[in-house]
Amino acid sequence: MVVPTIDISFVVPVYNGALTIGSVVSRILQTYANSSIEIVLVNDGSADTSTIVCRHLVHQYPQQVIFIDLARNFGEHNAVLAGLAQTRGRVVAVLDDDGQNPPEEVGRMWRLLEDEQLDVVYGHYRIKQHSWFRNLGSRLNDVLATRMLKKPAHLYLSSLKVMTRFVVNEVIRYRGPFPYIDGLIFRTTRRIGQLDVDHAPRVAGQSGYTLRKLVRLWLNMFLGFSIAPLRIAVMAGLLTSVLSVLLMLAVLVDRLWLNPDVPVGIPSVLVFITFFSGVQLTVLGMVGEYVGRVFLEQNGTPQYIIRETLTGEQQGPLDSGIYAVIRSDDVVRDKGILND
């Protein structure tokens, strides 16, 4: 159990955000200069110079910035979970590294969280600045979340959110290898609100969400936090069985009384076989996905692997290049000079 020692923590997953993360950190520090804050940057296997930029930010702001470098790309939700586990704030905000989530909006969400005694507040974008592909994925994600997580239809699950320490402590207890942060939130509480916020245009780079990553996200939500797909498979099996019986009766009636001279068509038989085979393969694939996830969890598949966590030393000049390096096992601690 984490005991809060600061007012608010910011978790920022970084993926190829070398051109934008510096301005995001600067805006956070300027906006909340009168509050006790920390900023946890989690590099999720970036292919650009994000690692170097984040290290310089720790160097520049040693008392506020923490840098977590993951061993490879694990996905946004895994990176957020790694960041949440390092936070110490009584309130925790999560926002993107591309500058599209204005840090200034977090203050309004924070006030709503405390005024209404909520556990979580999501930012609802007034005008979304995402591409059509990302917007399409968001709509499908919203439909699935409404069905699978029993999410209120009006609530938009954005990446910009503010949570209490109570919720964060519950979320980081999850040990499965396929985390879905919003699913963990809805598993913990229903005291959730939202607030209309601005959504800025992207100034550099492009979205890291590909079709493959969106499908993986949907599967994490669809299969990781509900057994509804198995129930749907059972219902589909029953309905197709009933349908097949009705079709056989219809063929029998047609053959004996309506059109006795018309032979039963081979194409229709092939169509029925293909249809039912597809249903069977879909159900088997769904069951196999559940079994595979159980196997990977029992096999010890990690949520994430931390290569190192960097925090700036408070003593000494900022240009000394000295960092505290905390190894991923959180036991071995070493001080050294990092050459960027």
* pLDDT given at position 326: 40
DSSP state of 4: P
- Going from N- to C-terminal start, the domains of the chain cover 6-225+305-337, 228-298
Span 243-289, pLDDT tens digits: 777 777 776 776 677 776 666 666 567 667 767 777 777 777 777 77
* pLDDT given at position 206: 61
Q: Is-contact 312 324, C-beta < 8 A?
A: yes
pTM given for the model: 0.74
* pLDDT given at position 249: 73
Whether the per-residue pLDDT at 227 is higher than 80: the answer is no
Percent of the chain with pLDDT over 70: 67
Q: pLDDT band for position 108 (50/70/90)?
A: very high
Q: Choose between 205 and 312: higher pLDDT.
A: 312
Q: Is-contact 161 89, C-beta < 8 A?
A: no
Tell me which residue of 58, 48, 55, 57 sits closest to 23, measured CA to CA: 57
Whether the per-residue pLDDT at 154 is higher than 80: the answer is yes
Q: State which CATH number among 2.160.10.10, 3.40.640.10, 3.40.50.300, 3.90.550.10 fits the domain covering 6-225+305-337.
A: 3.90.550.10
Structure tokens at 280: 């069977």
Q: pLDDT band for position 320 (50/70/90)?
A: very low
DSSP state of 125: E
* pLDDT given at position 318: 40
* pLDDT given at position 145: 65
Q: pLDDT band for position 137 (50/70/90)?
A: low
Long-range contacts of 193-196 (CB under 8 A, 24+ apart): 193/112, 193/113, 193/116, 193/118, 193/120, 193/121, 193/122, 194/121, 194/122, 194/123, 194/124, 194/155, 194/156, 195/105, 195/108, 195/109, 195/112, 195/121, 195/122, 195/123, 195/124, 196/124, 196/125, 196/126
Point out which residues pair with 195 in neighbouring strands.
123
Q: pLDDT band for position 242 (50/70/90)?
A: confident
